[in-house]
Amino acid sequence: MKVAVLISSRGSNMQALVKASLAEDFPAEIVTVLSNNPDAAGLEFAKSHNIPTEVINHRDFENREDFDQAISDYMESKQIDLICLAGFMRLLTPEFVNRWRDRIINIHPSLLPAFKGLHVHERAIESGARFTGCTVHIVRPEMDDGPIIVQAAVPILQDDTPDTLAARILVQEHRIYPEALKLMAERRVKIHGSVVKIEDAREDETSLTNPLA
Ligand code: GAR
């Protein structure tokens, strides 16, 4: 499976995906890392691992439709099977999402459907919830919406700040995003309406059987 990873800045999730994909038996190949931001730090990491990079700067386009069309054209030119959004902070048009239906996945730092959008850790702490976490899901036109592939739960501690909580969640993001990509590449992610069922889920696939593992 040929995969493109889209980033906007740091790209630590992209790094986790790249590292996982380098294992010999990994069923997906990351063939390009694309950023809307020419200064995204993650681009250097990709280059240093000999992964082709591309910048499509949203500022060069008059509207979202043209920007998304340019991304779509690029994906087609690279014969991409699956798009992984990894801290890609641009909203994609419904046309783009529908064009690539069931072939775009995203990571979000909360237990969706709770805390969609921005400032999630601050909002999770302020809500008084005892747990938050992270989610990898199939992308639908609504923001941070779509069938959930994998989640990990992370406790909110009494003295957590948004930064300390974000750091603990990020560790789990780096664990579950490669797992979700692997499941997609193995074509074991079966979408039934808004629900994902994993074909032949095994007990050792801990995030599937126990999101606290
Ligand atoms: C990650 O925490 C990711 O979950 C979040 O942005 C961060 C990007 O970090 N994404 C979203 O909030 C999307 N709604 P990274 O560039 O180091 O992967």
pLDDT higher than threshold 90 for residue 178:
yes
- Across residues 189-197, what is the average pLDDT? 96
Task: Give DSSP secondary structure letters for the chain.
Answer: -EEEEEESS--HHHHHHHHHHTSTT-S-EEEEEEES-TT-THHHHHHHTT--EEE--GGGSSSHHHHHHHHHHHHHHTT-SEEEESS--SPPPHHHHHHTTTSEEEEESS-TTSS-SS-HHHHHHHHT-SEEEEEEEE--SSTT-S-EEEEEEEEPPTT--HHHHHHHHHHHHHHHHHHHHHHHHTT-EEEETTEEEETT--TT-HHHH-TT-
Same domain, 123 and 82: no
pLDDT higher than threshold 90 for residue 211:
no
Same domain, 122 and 38: no
Same domain, 69 and 122: no
From the CA of 138, how far away is ligand 1's center (Å)? 15
- Across residues 93-98, what is the average pLDDT? 98
- The pLDDT, as a whole number, for residue 47 is 97
- The pLDDT, as a whole number, for residue 136 is 98
Same domain, 80 and 144: no
Instruction: Provide the pLDDT confidence category of residue 155 given band limits of 50, 70 and 90.
Output: very high
High-pLDDT (> 70) share of the chain, %: 99
Same domain, 110 and 196: yes
- Protein residue whose Cα sits closest to atom 10 of ligand 1: 87
Same domain, 134 and 63: no
Instruction: Provide the pLDDT confidence category of residue 123 given band limits of 50, 70 and 90.
Output: very high
- The pLDDT, as a whole number, for residue 160 is 98
- Across residues 140-147, what is the average pLDDT? 96
d(CA 68, CA 149): 25
Ligand 1 site, CB within 6 A? 7, 9-13, 86-87, 107-109, 144, 170, 173
d(CA 55, CA 53): 7
Same domain, 95 and 174: no
From the CA of 85, how far away is ligand 1's center (Å)? 9
Q: Which atom of ligand 1 is nearest to the CA of 8?
A: 16
- Across residues 161-168, what is the average pLDDT? 98
Catalytic residue among 108, 121, 137, 174: 108
Domain-terminating residue out of 58, 84, 100: 100
* pLDDT tens column, 27-75: 999 999 999 999 999 999 999 999 999 999 999 999 999 999 999 999 9
- The pLDDT, as a whole number, for residue 59 is 97
Same domain, 211 and 117: yes
Of the listed ranges 22-26, 171-175, 191-195, 206-210, the least confidently predicted one is 206-210
From the CA of 121, how far away is ligand 1's center (Å)? 12
Q: Is 108 a catalytic residue?
A: yes
Kindly report the CATH number assigned to the domain that includes residue 112. 3.40.50.170
Q: Which atom of ligand 1 is nearest to the CA of 170?
A: 2
pLDDT higher than threshold 80 for residue 212:
no
Number of domains in the chain: 2
- The pLDDT, as a whole number, for residue 206 is 74
- Protein residue whose Cα sits closest to atom 12 of ligand 1: 108
Domain-terminating residue out of 100, 135, 169: 100
pLDDT higher than threshold 90 for residue 209:
no
Same domain, 157 and 79: no
d(CA 5, CA 18): 9
Same domain, 123 and 145: yes
- The pLDDT, as a whole number, for residue 137 is 98
Domain encompassing residue 51: 1-100
- The pLDDT, as a whole number, for residue 65 is 97
Same domain, 49 and 144: no
- The pLDDT, as a whole number, for residue 208 is 78
d(CA 74, CA 48): 22
Averaged confidence pLDDT in the chain: 96
Contacts of 201 (CB under 8 A, 6+ apart): 188, 208, 209
Same domain, 2 and 91: yes
